[in-house]
Structure 1
């Protein structure tokens, strides 16, 4: 793999703009090369052919050369004249850290040297950008390390206080007596042998336990008791503090490693581009420039390396019982690897699904079931039971497609959703689960048809009708299975997010919570099928394949209520965001869901009651909701339709290379949003299509629309993170120091 692609693949996606623009510098070198080739008498060099003047296609440099030597081997060719002079310019006399570098090119008077002047000017800009970004990030991690030091002081004091309650009874001078603790930062006033400092129990008199919204009860306590809680010195507090600090250490260590990688990759990129310059121009400028880099802050700074060592040492000591192997495994988890058996099983299940689907079609055709007298009875009672699983499978397939394209275009979806490192499911795992469920669904449909028509099994009619319920039970048991099988971490993540949606607004709204809430708004028909399951098997005569659900006023009332629930959840989440952020933007988003609730309710009442007046009301409310939600989709959620953007009517930054895809997606979103018109225009009454089939088609189109929305919504979130260089999640710390308190 060429260095340019390798360089891009190892970038932190959210920091991409802060890396050296290697590809742009390569384009300048190509311009220089093209000019030299067009010259009548190109200068010969060790890299050009004496006959054609063209560069010889030989691999003079191996990929990633210089990994053992910081900048690789230099061209040791004797130089008669200097090519460049790199000067260090101090921008601010009061600060020695604010420095820029400027290169003077001595051959600017030569013919065609304009591109080389541009090259060094842009090279200096890139280097100053990299150094400035790196310096700023180093200052950030140093401040974070100081905060973690203070948190560890409080944790260690709390641990001693709980293990020995009588220890605090003896007076502890604030300037002498204390407890030994290995820190992660060196303090000039506290340096001791082995970087060990003394921590006083007096700290516990100046800290409070941060109360975070981890449960509905904690939220209620926060509302009535305030945002902080005094320490009660119990083991539950100690365990909670240890868990939070351990997570903070793991995330901080990851940030340090990526910052170290950023420093090394950029140094290597500058080395590579200077070698290419020497190769193209037959000059020897790389030595002087790389010597400057070697003496710069980017190369000489060792704060990050030292911090990594201290963080690892403190983590192993305090969170791994001094077990280095366990500690390093926890703080630096192994990278996730693709498993060949997953690919094999996906292919196997997809093949089985196709075979079973063909078998179902052939069975229906051979028995001429579409014209049988029981067709309407089957479509009314059995088809909704099995379409429930198809909705789930279709949604999973769309999610798998989203993951595939997110990965292809380097959208950091794992960070956006807040998945634990190396636990996120890839598109292959999603395909495995969806294809496995599809196999079970088609097998159940086929067995249901066979048991219905086979004369030898007519006595097992009850068992025939219980097949869909049995399949629902299996899916539910697998979802809540507590054992570490079938991606337990992802299943529990889904359950927790679902619980947060149900308990809205008692939980702080995070991206996966409201993202899942939006998914539920596209699964209204699935939720109504759940209601039908309850009615059919609870109060219907399922043994005779009949029900009176639609004749019940209670059922019709819940039919409306079920459809409103997901939109109401999202409205409450928006209200929670308004309360926390003190911003009315989420409130406007909440109005969108209220308008949709009005549209859903009026359309459902019209289908149940009919009437010209109700039709007008349903069409009007649905039209208003469609306009509002379509605008919000494109402008707010996708960030598109920017008139003054660099990409007219899109946004300044795009991930997809083909701009037309965005316009196609917007048109598709509008068309699929109008699927509600089938209910107002009475398309479901068409004689050639059963009403259950029409509802299935419309529900499937909404799921597809949501799948398209998902990609562009997460893409926009990723670009917002890139614009603010947000690459790490904020881990809540357990302790809060009093204002004005200084460390003892």
Structure 2
């Protein structure tokens, strides 16, 4: 794989604008190469003279090597390179340090092309350097905050384990800490009575090995140890704690009183604090790893591009430029920490976040080492393997059996569908007298699985294209690393569902009653209900099979949508609620299931309950549940985020609720009055929703953008795709007109089939909407360099200056 593609594949998607633009610099190098080829810069031109000069100088230097060595011994300086190509230096521009390259061969043929190259190279390096500095400063700030959190955590551990001996422990640790001045030793301070196997053990270890260290370094360590004291237990009186999970109860409590409470020194409270800090450490560790990768990839990119320049121009400029890169802030790999009091240079000693002074200069590599040591010590009981397993991200493994079973289930689905088709034509079921009864009673039962299957197909296609166009959907949705489903796994689940549904349909494809009892076979009629029971058992199965993490993630998000606005709204929550708004018919099918098997007579396929007032009222209510959930979610975000656009978004969903109710009433009652109300409300909400989809959710139709009527940044290179998506979205938004225009039953389609077709078109529209909605969200994250989620910390300091 070429380096350009490898660089693109390893980039942090949200930081891609901050990386060196390797491809644009390659284009400039191609311009230089093209000029040299066109102007025949060969051995007969200026380069030949330069080459001969190089040979003469090398011969001279080889002959005078003895004298130069003698001059060096006499204190002379070595000769400078007479063939310097560039000079690189730093200048202060607008309060920041920038690097500029002076090209010394601009008078050579094609020198203007090389001037453009070095100017672009400097711009890229300064861009990378500025971004890296900003991120390191952010990391230092977060490290300081984690240090304060660890102070409070260790004090809380002491208070929970030994509340009566807190003061005694503090004086004991200070006494033992003062004994560090006596010589090299390892001091271990722990609470008496707490066994080594307990999680609450507090160990302060200070490595003071004198092996290979000078006397000045030992003196420096003594001075540092003189200043070292363990975390003060008084810190617990200066913090408030917030460890309540995001639940409806906590939301209601926060509406009445403050969410921050005093520390109560309970073991359950300590467990929750440790869990929150563990999550914060893991997220911070991922941030450090990506920052380290950013530094490494960019340094490698500058090395590669300069070597290409040397190869094309036959110069030796890469050495000078890469020396500057190594000496810059980006390339500093050695950490030299200077004591702020005595000015002495100290070798890094990992004491954990408790005793680190993060106000000093911190390099990412050393900070990673310290964080690993602290996490292993305080959150893994010293178990290195367990600690690193928790810190390092889980990489998803591609399994061949997934592809195998996907092909198997797909083949079975095709065979079953063919079997149903052959059975219908062979038995002439489309012309059977019982066709209407079957479509009214049985078809809604199986159409539920068809809606779910189609939605899963669209979601699988979305994940395929998101991955192809580098949309970081696992981060956007908040999936646990390594647990997100790829398109193969989603297609596998969808094909498995299709096999079950088609097999049940084929078994239930019966339109004949027993003339003696005038009843259908009870076992056959219970097949749809049994299939629903199987799916529910799989969904809520507690065992780690069939993608348990993804199943529980879906259930958790669905529960949060149902109880909106009692939960804080996340991206995955309102995205799932949007999916449910396109599954109105599926939700109505669930209502039909309940009535059909509880209040109806399924043995005779009786559906008289459909005409009852209770069923009609619930028929309207269940359809507006997902839209009402979105209204409540928008209102909560309006209150929390103070974003006025969420207010307009809630009005959009409220107008959709009104239009849906009026259309349903017209479908049930008929009449010109309800027809006018349904048409006018649906027309208004269609215009409102279409504008919101295209302009707000997709970010398109920007008149002054670089891409006319689209947006500045596009992931799909073919712009026609966006215009086609806009037209298709508008057309599919108008499918409600078939109801108002009384196009409810075609000659070859039953009314129920027409309803299912319209529902499928809405699912297709939602699938198209999903891709461009997440593309716009990803580009917003890229524009703001958001690559990490914020983990709320448990402790809140009353005085931020107190460590």
TM (norm. structure 1) is 0.91
Matched, 1:117 2:115: yes
Contact 1:181 1:197 in 2 (8 A): no
Structure 2 Cα separation of the partners of residues 106 and 723 of structure 1? 37
Aligned to 2:14: 14
Matched, 1:664 2:724: yes
Matched, 1:439 2:510: no
Aligned to 2:195: none
Deviates more, 1:531-540 or 1:447-456: 447-456
Structure 1 Cα separation of the partners of residues 461 and 759 of structure 2? 19
Unaligned runs of 5+ in 1: 49-77
Matched, 1:697 2:757: yes
Aligned to 1:242: 274
Aligned to 2:256: 224
What's the CA shift for 1:458? 10
Q: Secondary structure at the match of 2:230?
A: strand
Contact 1:4 1:23 in 2 (8 A): yes
Structure 1 Cα separation of the partners of residues 203 and 144 of structure 2? 14
Alpha carbons of structure 1 residues 194 and 518: separation in structure 2 relative to 1, 3 Å: farther
Aligned to 1:214: 246
The equivalent position to 1:255 in structure 2, one of 281, 284, 287, is 287
Structure 1 Cα separation of the partners of residues 226 and 499 of structure 2? 61
Alpha carbons of structure 1 residues 268 and 183: separation in structure 2 relative to 1, 3 Å: farther
Q: Residues 226-251 of structure 1, C-alpha deviation per residue, up to 9 Å, x if partnerless?
A: 13111121122111111111111111
Matched, 1:277 2:277: no
Aligned to 1:2: 2
Matched, 1:267 2:269: no
Q: Secondary structure at the match of 1:298?
A: coil
Alpha carbons of structure 1 residues 299 and 174: separation in structure 2 relative to 1, 3 Å: farther
Aligned to 1:463: 523
Q: Secondary structure at the match of 2:101?
A: strand
Q: Secondary structure at the match of 2:714?
A: coil
Q: Secondary structure at the match of 1:444?
A: helix
Aligned to 1:595: 655
Aligned to 1:66: none
Aligned to 1:295: 327
Contact 1:411 1:718 in 2 (8 A): yes
Q: Secondary structure at the match of 2:586?
A: helix
Aligned to 1:30: 30
**Cα RMSD (Å) of the superposition?**
2.6
Q: Residues 638-668 of structure 1, C-alpha deviation per residue, up to 9 Å, x if partnerless?
A: 1111011111111111111111101110111
Q: Residues 247-282 of structure 1, C-alpha deviation per residue, up to 9 Å, x if partnerless?
A: 111111111111111101000000000011111111
Aligned to 1:159: 157
Contact 1:85 1:105 in 2 (8 A): yes
Matches within 5 A, 1:45-56: none
Alpha carbons of structure 1 residues 338 and 192: separation in structure 2 relative to 1, 3 Å: farther
Alpha carbons of structure 1 residues 454 and 369: separation in structure 2 relative to 1, 3 Å: farther
Q: Residues 618-648 of structure 1, C-alpha deviation per residue, up to 9 Å, x if partnerless?
A: 0000000000000000111111110111111
Contact 2:513 2:519 in 1 (8 A): no
Matches within 5 A, 1:706-721: 706-721=766-781
Q: Residues 115-172 of structure 1, C-alpha deviation per residue, up to 9 Å, x if partnerless?
A: 1100000101111111111111111111111111111111111111111121236595
Alpha carbons of structure 1 residues 695 and 618: separation in structure 2 relative to 1, 3 Å: same
The equivalent position to 1:579 in structure 2, one of 636, 639, 652, is 639
Structure 1 Cα separation of the partners of residues 747 and 317 of structure 2? 80
What's the CA shift for 1:181? 6.2
Runs of 4+ deviating beyond 3 Å: 40-45, 168-184, 188-197, 450-460, 685-688
Contact 2:591 2:619 in 1 (8 A): yes
Aligned to 1:102: 100
Matches within 5 A, 1:472-621: 472-621=532-681
Aligned to 1:147: 145
What's the CA shift for 1:191? 8.4
What's the CA shift for 1:43? 4.6
Matched, 1:346 2:406: yes
Contact 1:172 1:202 in 2 (8 A): no
Alpha carbons of structure 1 residues 14 and 174: separation in structure 2 relative to 1, 3 Å: farther
What's the CA shift for 1:333? 3.4
Alpha carbons of structure 1 residues 171 and 79: separation in structure 2 relative to 1, 3 Å: closer
Aligned to 1:82: 84
Contact 1:87 1:103 in 2 (8 A): yes
Q: Secondary structure at the match of 2:89?
A: strand
Alpha carbons of structure 1 residues 595 and 325: separation in structure 2 relative to 1, 3 Å: same
Unaligned runs of 5+ in 2: 49-79, 178-188, 190-201, 207-219, 336-362
Q: Secondary structure at the match of 1:230?
A: coil
Contact 1:25 1:123 in 2 (8 A): yes
Alpha carbons of structure 1 residues 406 and 454: separation in structure 2 relative to 1, 3 Å: farther
Deviates more, 1:687-696 or 1:451-460: 451-460
Alpha carbons of structure 1 residues 286 and 572: separation in structure 2 relative to 1, 3 Å: same
Structure 2 Cα separation of the partners of residues 189 and 233 of structure 1? 35
Aligned to 2:75: none
